[in-house]
């Protein structure tokens, strides 16, 4: 039954998107752990569930094989096993407190949050994310973050499992039904009919999605061609008179601010467009630190703001335990240098406008954007999901933005090299979006808060 639960829950996430299953997916697992004689046996069931669920949910990791070789499948298995240990802990604790209904749901959600912490923390597989398409229930995130949505989904599963086992808890079943219906109607009441709400002042924003294959992104011989693609797409969009033009993460394989020809081209383009241009680029300072950054050029061509990535991807942007692992992984040709996290970085400032900023998988963490959100005109993530082709990863990544928008009641904008670029309103509704591998620009208006 733990294997069945793992499969059912995996089907709730992209690209399957069978999200209603989330309300029953854990029932087989919960029934199984309640039938175990000891909490230790329940932990084993939880581990089996975790291996199956995370093995499917994180299978997209294997799209990195062209870059990491045979170490990638090994990393996928270790990652799935590591996440499964958290589920084992949750099942161990739930089995010990099986008479405490609410505590069991809190335990599960608490372990989900625990998984997100630390240098190896990830949020993939958080149950609340299954409800990105069920917006009335997703509105709970406005005051409880995505973990409040997880709590409700797990609570429903626990009550159904207890009813299956005892056939006696009719009152619990009735109460959780009332809670669910109340949450649904409250959430529905929070979503306004109009798609653009706010002040009459608006910003016109253009997103440029170059759709550059990753093997070309990593080859500096294609820098001029890749840059020209973004340049041409931008000029085609100028007839829309955008206030802000956004390019994705690491547009070309160079340090734009430290590379005079490319820096001058960006300055000239900003003056030509009479708009702010934001672009992703690596940046190094005088101390030799390398940052993954967003740089803002003003309409006069000046560099006016920079955001440096705070939460780096382990094994993607830096190598943990370098003295031990680099001799083993040297053959991948991937870890010659590490990016530096910058915890002292600030949001982008464009004149009087503050932009709450994130790069790549930073948008999967509730806390990072929530700290920047007060006073921000909108939330922004730039990314390059070309690493993952048309796997589930770009879809999971974009759907995380639904919850960042709801949690902060602000427009969420994502600009991807390829992956999904788009805009989500403060209630989680996708206003516009591109497709994976689609080359083009996307222009839209959002109200100033």
Looking at the annotation, which residues are catalytic? 249, 309, 360
**Pair of tokens at residue 193:** 């009919």
Q: How far apart are CA 268 and CA 421, in angstroms?
A: 25
**Pair of tokens at residue 337:** 């240098």
DSSP letter (8 states) at residue 375: T
Secondary structure (3-state) at 287 = coil
Across the beta sheet with 430-433, what order do the strands follow?
348-350, 353-359, 376-383, 412-416, 422-424, 430-433
- Would you call 222 exposed, middle or buried from its count of C-beta atoms within 10 A (0-12, 13-18, 19+)? middle
**Pair of tokens at residue 161:** 């499992």
DSSP code per residue over 245-266: EE--SS-SSS-GGG-HHHHHHH
Cβ–Cβ under 8 Å, residues 438 and 394: no
Torsion of CA 375, 306, 247, 336, to 10 degrees: -130
Q: How far apart are CA 408 and CA 406, in angstroms?
A: 5
């Amino acid at each position: 039954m733990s294997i069945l639960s793992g499969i059912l829950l995996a089907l709730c996430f992209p690209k399957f998107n069978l999200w209603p299953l989330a309300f029953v997916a854990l029932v087989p697992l919960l029934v199984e752990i309640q039938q175990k004689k000891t909490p230790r046996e329940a932990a084993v069931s939880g581990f089996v569930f975790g291996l199956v669920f995370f093995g499917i949910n994180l299978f997209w990791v294997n799209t990195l094989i062209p870059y990491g070789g045979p170490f990638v499948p090994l990393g996928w298995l270790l990652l799935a096993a590591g996440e499964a240990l958290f589920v084992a802990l949750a099942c161990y604790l739930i089995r010990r407190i099986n008479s405490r209904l609410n505590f069991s749901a809190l335990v599960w959600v608490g372990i989900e949050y625990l998984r997100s912490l630390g240098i190896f923390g990830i949020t993939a597989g958080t149950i609340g994310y299954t409800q990105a398409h069920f917006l009335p229930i997703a509105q709970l995130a406005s005051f409880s973050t995505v973990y409040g949505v997880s709590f409700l989904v797990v609570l429903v599963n626990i009550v159904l499992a207890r009813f299956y086992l005892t056939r006696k808890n009719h009152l619990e079943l009735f109460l959780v039904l009332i809670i669910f219906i109340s949450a649904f109607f409250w959430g529905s009441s929070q979503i306004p009919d109009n798609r653009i709400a706010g002040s009459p002042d608006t910003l016109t924003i253009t997103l440029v999605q170059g759709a550059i294959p990753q093997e070309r992104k990593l080859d500096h011989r294609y820098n001029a061609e890749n840059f020209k693609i973004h340049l041409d797409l931008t000029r085609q969009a100028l007839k829309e008179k955008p206030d802000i033009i956004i390019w994705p993460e690491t547009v070309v394989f160079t340090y734009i601010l430290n590379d005079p020809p490319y820096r001058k081209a960006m300055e000239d383009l900003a003056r030509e467009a009479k708009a702010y241009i934001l672009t992703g680029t690596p940046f190094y300072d005088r101390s030799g630190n390398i940052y993954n950054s967003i740089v803002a050029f003003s309409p006069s061509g000046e560099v006016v703001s920079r955001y440096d990535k705070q939460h780096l991807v382990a094994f993607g942007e830096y190598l943990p335990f370098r003295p031990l692992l680099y001799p083993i992984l040297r053959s991948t040709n991937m870890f010659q240098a590490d990016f530096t996290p910058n915890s002292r970085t600030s949001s982008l400032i464009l004149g009087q406008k503050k932009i709450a900023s994130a790069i790549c998988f930073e948008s999967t963490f509730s806390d990072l954007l929530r700290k920047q959100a007060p006073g921000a005109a909108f939330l922004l993530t730039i990314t390059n999901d070309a690493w993952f082709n048309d796997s589930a990863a770009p879809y999971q990544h974009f759907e995380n933005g639904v919850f960042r928008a709801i949690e902060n009641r602000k427009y969420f904008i994502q600009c991807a090299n390829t992956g999904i670029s788009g805009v989500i309103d403060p209630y989680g509704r996708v206003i516009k979006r591109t497709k994976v591998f689609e080359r083009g620009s996307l222009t839209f208006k959002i109200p100033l808060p």
